[in-house]
Amino acid sequence: MGCDERMYLRYTTVRKDGKVRRYWRLVRSVRVGRRVIQQTVAQLGELDARGRLQARALARQLIGTPEQAGLFDDGKPDVTVPVRLKGVRIERSRLFGDVYLALALWRGAGLADLCERLMPSGKEAVPWSKMAAVLVTARLCEPSSELHIAEDWYRRTALCDLLQLDGELVNKDRLYRSLDLLLEHKAALEAHLSRRCGELFSIDNEVLLYDVTSTYFEGEAESNALARRGYSRDHRPDRKQVCIGLVVTFDGFPLGYEVFAGNTHDSRTVQTIVDTMEARHGAVGRVWIADRGMSSAANLEWLRQTGRRYIIGAPKVELRKFAAELALADGWRPLRDGIEVKLVSWPDTAEKAILCRSADRRSKERAMHDKFSERIEAALASLAARIESSTKRLNASQINRQIGRILQRNQRSAARFRIFLQPADCPAGVRLHVAHDPAFDDWAAVSEGSYVLRTNITGWSDEQLWRAYIQLTQAEAAFRIHKDELQVRPIWHQRADRVQAHILVCFLAFVLWKCLEMWQQRAGLGNSPRTVLEELARIQSHDVVLPTTTHGEIRLRCVTQPDPAQAALLDRLGIVLPKRMRAELDLPLAITA
């Protein structure tokens, strides 16, 4: 599949109440085989004057006025001079639009001011707060190593103009040192972002979603005590890893994270995370939501004894406690197509159980059971044929180990089969006997597509409890963005503190990503920050060199004019790009149009 770099504006005309309305959308061309189709990137609605005013008001609320006037106006009067047209040329092309937007988000989130306070300037040639901005902006726009940032990426962008930071001063040693300094302020950064983004987006911190993922190392990471082999969500059991526990709000905005050893079980992270987050953000009224990996008996008892409210997924085995309720047709409440829930009491505690069943999940689990059953049957049939055709006596222990391996590889349906060896009057001395366990099929008919949640919350309906729990997809989405878009994996750093700092930079970049996503949603631009960043990256800055007949050469640092699709994006976001930036002029002049 290939994708055209260009985007286009398309509109649909609708007649309603005697009025003709024109609704715009942003589309891009995508090649599928030999065909080119147009995919809608964002619905822009009516691009009227009122919509533009609302978007600009939103931009002022989110990012204020990120540009510094001194960067775009040298304060000198215009002078008209004759120009030699044959000598006009373009030099020093730089990526502008994406880094301009990233810096706007950095400043809008208050991170620029905060880093200036936390990392005050001393005798160093470069303020550490600016180096932190470089690291996070690079991670958002073009994730790469510190070496790549210093030797390639930075010099291709307009950050040197926007930050007033010469490219020669950005090197890998300064970037590594800024990582070290930034890590010292992790707690302060998280606390600030919770307050600031609550102001910007009215984020509700009452419901907190918690999940754990892992990210693996390239290299042995021998000096890192947290680098261990464990259950790998990246399917890399051959690599050492660390586990990352992330807390997000109901809307998916990140509040904080902690890093654990790579062999740490999910359930062993819960108490650390809860205590840490509540110490940082407050404990009053919190509702904790986590998946079944966190639901150990010790954790549940600790949450209850400390008076914390929770909704936690229960292990599949807990469903058997509710076999009678699952079999009953009464009491189920449909929430949406194919989803039903039932609220019942949890046996032996004061908790509630939310029984849930999904038609799609039932079809998926049934198909998986059938697939693994077919594999087991085929493998057992092959084994039985080998036994029957054997001309010598076989070792029953070896055959049982082979049966064990077959069942181990197909665990989801292993309980469906009763398998044993019978003594037989044949050369092999045994015969394989296989039967189906009807109890497995009876339970599968009741339980396929079902799962159970447990909670100590009173006063919420079954629908409220279920909808709160499925918001865990926000935490899962955050991990996907960290891994795929911001490239938190693999980790190339070997030192323990650099690993922690790398994860912190990815976390801060995700904060900017989420700010842009929520900004897009409120501006009617969907929820694809990468699309916006890639499109705006095509807006560049250039030096226009004008040889004159009277004043030598004049250098103007100009920003390219957005095309209609880019202009539509900027208009909806309420951003007005500058047309020029300050440059080192050969003469203290500006030229009029």
Which tens digits make up the pLDDT trace of 76-85? 556 677 878 8
Instruction: Give the residue among 371, 355, 375 at the shortest CA–CA distance from 363.
Output: 371
> Which range among 64-68, 224-228, 244-248, 557-561 shows the weakest confidence by mean pLDDT?
64-68
Give the DSSP per-residue string, 273-333.
Answer: HHHHHHHHH--TT-EEEE-GGG--HHHHHHHHHTT-EEEEEPPGGGGGGGHHHHH--TT-E
- Are 166 and 216 within 8 A, CB to CB? no
Can you tell me the mean pLDDT for 536-542? 92
Q: Can you give the pLDDT at residue 2?
A: 42
pLDDT at 128: 94
User: Residue 329: is its pLDDT beyond 60?
Assistant: yes
Average confidence (pLDDT) over 405-432: 91
Distances (CA, A) of 319 to 234, 313, 329: 29, 11, 16
Q: 3-state class of 26 per DSSP? A: strand
121: helix, coil or strand?
coil
Contact (CB, 8 A) for 513 and 57: no
4 pLDDT higher than 50: no
CATH of domain 187-351+456-494: 3.90.350.10
What is the CA angle 56-66-562, rounded to 5?
Answer: 60
Distances (CA, A) of 449 to 311, 319, 332, 365, 436: 19, 11, 14, 6, 21
Residue 563 predicted with pLDDT over 90: no
pLDDT digits (tens, 9 = 90+) for 119-130: 987 778 899 999
Closest CA relative to residue 558, chosen from 581, 589, 587, 590: 581
Which of the residue ranges 78-87, 344-353, 502-511, 569-578 has the most confident prediction, judged by mean pLDDT?
Answer: 502-511
Tokens of 31: 């090649």
Bigger pLDDT: 585 vs 236: 236
CA atoms within 13 A on the CB side of 547: 6
Distance CA 318, CA 292 (A): 11
Q: Residue 593's pLDDT band (boundaries 50, 70, 90)?
A: very low
Write out pLDDT tens, residues 191-248. 998 888 777 777 777 889 999 999 999 989 898 999 999 999 999 999 999 999 999 9
Mean pLDDT, residues 469-479 taken together: 91
**In this predicted structure, which of 70-74, 355-359, 450-454 has the lowest mean pLDDT?**
70-74
**Which pLDDT does position 15 carry in this prediction?**
73
Break the chain into its structural domains and give their ranges: 187-351+456-494, 361-447
Q: How confident is the model at residue 299 (pLDDT cuts 50, 70, 90)?
A: very high
Min mean pLDDT across 178-182, 201-205, 270-274, 565-569 is at 201-205
Could you give phi then psi for residue 236, rounded to 5 degrees?
Answer: -125, 65
For the cut 80, the answer to whether the pLDDT of residue 431 exceeds it is yes
φ, ψ (nearest 5 deg) of residue 451: -155, 165
Q: Which residue has the tokens 């994006």?
A: 569
How far is residue 171's CA from residue 167's CA, in Å, rounded to a whole number? 8
CA dihedral 356, 357, 358, 359 (to 10 degrees): -160
The token pair at 214 is 């892992």
Q: How far apart are CA 315 and CA 292, in angstroms?
A: 6
Look at residue 454 and give its three-state secondary structure.
strand
Average pLDDT over residues 84-97: 88
Statement: residue 383 has pLDDT above 80: yes
Q: Average pLDDT of 100-107?
A: 92
Residue 418's H or E segment, with its range, is strand 417-423
Proportion of the chain above pLDDT 90, given as a percent: 56
Check whether the bond before 490 is cis (ω within 30° of 0): yes
| CA gap 350, 174 in Å, rounded | 56
Distances (CA, A) of 26 to 14, 23, 538, 548: 17, 10, 16, 42
* Alpha-helical segments (H) within 318-426: 323-327, 359-389, 396-409
Among the listed ranges 32-36, 128-132, 134-138, 399-403, which one has the minimum average pLDDT value? 32-36
Residue 461 pLDDT:
92
Indicate if the pLDDT at residue 38 is higher than 90: no
In residues, how long is the chain?
Answer: 593
Q: Taking a C-beta distance cutoff of 8 angstroms, is the pair 224, 498 a contact? A: no
559/368 Cα distance (integer angstroms): 56
Distance CA 559, CA 576 (A): 12
* pTM > 0.75: yes or no: yes
Residues facing residue 553 across a β-bridge: 547
The pLDDT, as a whole number, for residue 591 is 35
Q: Across the chain, what does the average pLDDT equal?
A: 86
Q: Which of 90, 76, 80 is nearest to 548 (CA)?
A: 80
Q: How far apart are CA 286 and CA 310, in angstroms?
A: 8
Complete DSSP assignment for 205-232: -SEEEEEEEEEEBSS--TT-TT-B----
Q: Could you give the strand order of the β-sheet that contains 2-16, starting from the edge strand earlier in sequence?
A: 2-16, 19-32, 35-45
The CA distance from 414 to 407, in Å, is 5
